Amino acid sequence: MAAKLLPNRPRIAYNLSLAHSAAGNLSAAELELRRAIAVYAEDKRSAADATYALAVLLLQSDRSSEAQALARELDNLGVPAAKDLLAELERRAKETSVPPK
């Protein structure tokens, strides 16, 4: 398996996360995305694709606060898609908020 032969290749971990996600194994997908991000620990801009994918996965898993932290990180890096993700997080927060009495 490529991931075992080339453990420091973030694109392999990213692609493996997509396969896990498609198979419904979100915990394995999350693990691979975090592994891809860790390889780029010193260069967050290079990890943007994996960070965005992880934020989306967390949002789908109802882990909005974690997704929001990643979306803000991406926004600070100037990643355009982060704005859409932050808007979706805000929309969902409004849907689930209970109006004050």
The domain that holds 23 is classified in CATH as 1.25.40.10
Q: Residue 55 falls within a domain, yes or no?
A: yes
Query: Domain residues for 90?
Result: 2-95
Q: Residue 100 domain-assigned?
A: no
60 in any annotated domain = yes
Domain total for the chain?
1
For residue 75, tell me if it sits in a domain. Answer: yes
pLDDT band at 8; cut points 50, 70, 90 = low
CA 51/CA 75 separation, integer angstroms:
11
Q: How many helices (H) and strands (E) are present in the chain, helices listed first?
A: 6, 0
Q: Is position 40 within any domain?
A: yes
For residue range 13-26, list pLDDT tens digits in order: 999 999 999 999 99
Residue 101 lies in a domain: no
What CA–CA distances, in Å, run from 40 to 5, 31, 94? 18, 15, 34
Residue 22: inside a domain: yes
Q: Who has greater pLDDT, 3 or 14?
A: 14
Q: Does the predicted model carry a pTM greater than 0.95? A: no
